[in-house]
C-alpha cells in the first residue's frame, strides 16, 4: 500500500492505471485468446481503462436507454462525448443504417481512440477522434482546458448526443461548457442523455448516513472522493446542474432519473441520468 501511494505521487495516473490493468489482466487475456473467447468490438480486459469489467452488459444497458429515452433511429447522426474505448458504440453497429446514420465519438485518451479507430475500420460511418484536453486523472499532460473546448463538429450536426460517465470526471464549469457545446451541435428538437452524480439534499443525506457506494465529500467548491485527483470522481450540485442546463438552452425532459450510487433504493441505473432536448 505504501509503495502504491508513493507511486501515485510520482507516476502520472494513466500510466499507473494501465500498468495495473496489464499486470492484472494480461494472463487472462492470453487465455481468452487461446480459447478463442474474444470478440472484435470488445477490447481485451487489460485495455479497458474506463473502469468495471462489464463492458458488454453496460453497453447493452445504455443502448436500451438510448432507444427508450433518446428515441434513436437507424438514420440518426449520433455523438458519443467522451467515448472511452467504445463501450457504448458497439450496440449501434447492427442498428445504424450505414448509408444514412453515423456515429462520432471523441475522447481525451489516445489509447481508447486508437483502439476504436483500428477496430471499427470496416464501419466507415463510425468515426473516432482524440482531443488533447487536460484531466488530472485521464490526461494530465493535456494542453486544452475542458471549459474552453469547442467540439470539433459544425452546428446542428447530430440528432442524438450522450455523455455516459464523463461529467462524473469533470469540474462543473467544464460540464457547463460541454452542455453548451452539446446544444450547439444538436439539431433543433434533438435529444441528449447525460449521466452525473447529482449532489442534492437526498444524496447528501444518504452519503452522510454511510449508505453511499461512493464516499463523496465536499472539499471547498468541489465534491469529490479524492481531493488529490478530483477528476477520479466528481459530483455536481443540483443547482449548478440546473443552471448549466438552462444556460445551455436545453430543456429537461421529465425528472432526472436518479441513480443507486448514493444508496437509493429506487433507481434507474447506477449514475443519475438526465434526458435533455434542444427546443425545436
Ligand atoms: C469512465 S470513462 C467512460 C467512457 C465512456 N463514456 C463509457 O461510458 O464507456 C470516462 C471517460 O471520460 C473521458 N473524459 C474525461 N474528461 C473528458 C473531456 N473533457 N472530454 C472528453 N472526454 C473526457 C475519459 O478519457 C474517459 O474515457
Ranges of beta strands (E only) in the chain are: 77-81, 102-107, 126-130, 158-163, 186-196, 198-199, 217-219, 222-224, 234-237, 251-252, 272-277
Q: pLDDT tier at 6 (50, 70, 90 boundaries)?
A: low
Q: What is the dihedral sign for C-alpha 173, 177, 178, 182?
A: positive
Is the distance from the beta carbon of residue 138 to the nearest atom of ligand 1 less than 6 Å?
A: yes
- What is the per-residue DSSP string for 122-153? T-TTEEEEE--B-BTTTBTT--B-GGG---SS
Pair 151, 164: CB distance under 8 Å? no
Out of 107, 128, 139, give the residue to mutate to test ligand 1, the one with the largest number of ligand atoms within 8 Å of its CB. Answer: 107
Is the distance from the beta carbon of residue 108 to the nearest atom of ligand 1 less than 6 Å?
A: yes
Domain 2-277 indexed as CATH 1.10.3720.10: no
Is the distance from the beta carbon of residue 234 to the nearest atom of ligand 1 less than 6 Å?
A: no
Looking from the CA of 216 toward its CB, the CA atoms found within 13 Å total 29
Structure confidence by residue, pLDDT tens digits, 55-113: 999 999 999 999 999 999 999 999 999 999 999 999 999 999 999 999 999 999 999 99
- What is the per-residue DSSP string for 18-33? HHHHHHHHHHHHHHHH
Residue 21 CB contacts under 8 Å (≥ 6 apart), including other chains: 45, 46, 47, 48, 49
Residue 274 has pLDDT above 80, yes or no: yes
DSSP classification of residue 229:
S
Q: pLDDT tier at 11 (50, 70, 90 boundaries)?
A: confident
Q: How far is the CA of 271 from the centre of ligand 1 (A)?
A: 14
Q: pLDDT tier at 10 (50, 70, 90 boundaries)?
A: confident
Q: Give long-range contacts, CB 8 A cutoff, 24+ apart: 90-98.
A: 90/41, 90/42, 90/56, 90/59, 91/59, 91/60, 91/63, 92/63, 92/126, 93/41, 93/123, 93/126, 95/63, 96/125, 98/123, 98/124, 98/125
State the chain's mean pLDDT as an integer.
Answer: 95
Looking at residue 1, its pLDDT comes to 63
For ligand 1, what atom is nearest to the CA of residue 133?
19
Structure confidence by residue, pLDDT tens digits, 243-262: 999 999 999 999 999 999 99
Structure confidence by residue, pLDDT tens digits, 200-257: 999 999 999 999 999 999 999 899 999 999 999 999 999 999 999 999 999 999 999 9
State how beta strands 77-81 and 158-163 pair.
Answer: parallel
Q: How far is the CA of 70 from the centre of ligand 1 (A)?
A: 20
Out of 13, 21, 41, 50, give the residue to mutate to test ligand 1, the one with the largest number of ligand atoms within 8 Å of its CB. Answer: 50
Residue 232 CB contacts under 8 Å (≥ 6 apart), including other chains: 137, 169, 224, 225, 226
Out of 62, 153, 161, 169, give the residue to mutate to test ligand 1, the one with the largest number of ligand atoms within 8 Å of its CB. Answer: 169
Mean pLDDT of 185-192: 98
Q: Which three cell numbers stand for residue 108?
A: 481525451
Domain boundaries, the chain: 2-277
Q: How far is the CA of 35 from the centre of ligand 1 (A)?
A: 31
Q: pLDDT tier at 159 (50, 70, 90 boundaries)?
A: very high
Is the distance from the beta carbon of residue 169 to the nearest atom of ligand 1 less than 6 Å?
A: yes
Amino acid at each position: 500500500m505504501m509503495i502504491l501511494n508513493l507511486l501515485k505521487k510520482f507516476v502520472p495516473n494513466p500510466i499507473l492505471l494501465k500498468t495495473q490493468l496489464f499486470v492484472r489482466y494480461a494472463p487472462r487475456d492470453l487465455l481468452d485468446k487461446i480459447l478463442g473467447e474474444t470478440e472484435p468490438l470488445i477490447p481485451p480486459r487489460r485495455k479497458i481503462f474506463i473502469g468495471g469489467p462489464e463492458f458488454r452488459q453496460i453497453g447493452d444497458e445504455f443502448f436500451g436507454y438510448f432507444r427508450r429515452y433518446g428515441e434513436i433511429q437507424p438514420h440518426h447522426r449520433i455523438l458519443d462525448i467522451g467515448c472511452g474505448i467504445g463501450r457504448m458504440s458497439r450496440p449501434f453497429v447492427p442498428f445504424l443504417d450505414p448509408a444514412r446514420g453515423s456515429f462520432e465519438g471523441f475522447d481525451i485518451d489516445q489509447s481508447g481512440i486508437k483502439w476504436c479507430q483500428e477496430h471499427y475500420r470496416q464501419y466507415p460511418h463510425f468515426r473516432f477522434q482524440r482531443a488533447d484536453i487536460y484531466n488530472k486523472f485521464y490526461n494530465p499532460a493535456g494542453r486544452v482546458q475542458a471549459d474552453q473546448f469547442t467540439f470539433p463538429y459544425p452546428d446542428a450536426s447530430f440528432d442524438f448526443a450522450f455523455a455516459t460517465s464523463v461529467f462524473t470526471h469533470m469540474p462543473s464549469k467544464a460540464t457547463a461548457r460541454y452542455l453548451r457545446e452539446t446544444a450547439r451541435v444538436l439539431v433543433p428538437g434533438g435529444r441528449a442523455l447525460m449521466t452525473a452524480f447529482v449532489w442534492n439534499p437526498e444524496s447528501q443525506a444518504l452519503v452522510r448516513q454511510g449508505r453511499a457506494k461512493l464516499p463523496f465529500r465536499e472539499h471547498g467548491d468541489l465534491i469529490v472522493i479524492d481531493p488529490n485527483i478530483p477528476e477520479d470522481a466528481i459530483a455536481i450540485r443540483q443547482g449548478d446542474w440546473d443552471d448549466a442546463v438552462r444556460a445551455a438552452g436545453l430543456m429537461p425532459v421529465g425528472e432526472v432519473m436518479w441513480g443507486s450510487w448514493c444508496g437509493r433504493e429506487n433507481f434507474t441505473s447506477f449514475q443519475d441520468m438526465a434526458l435533455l432536448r434542444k427546443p425545436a
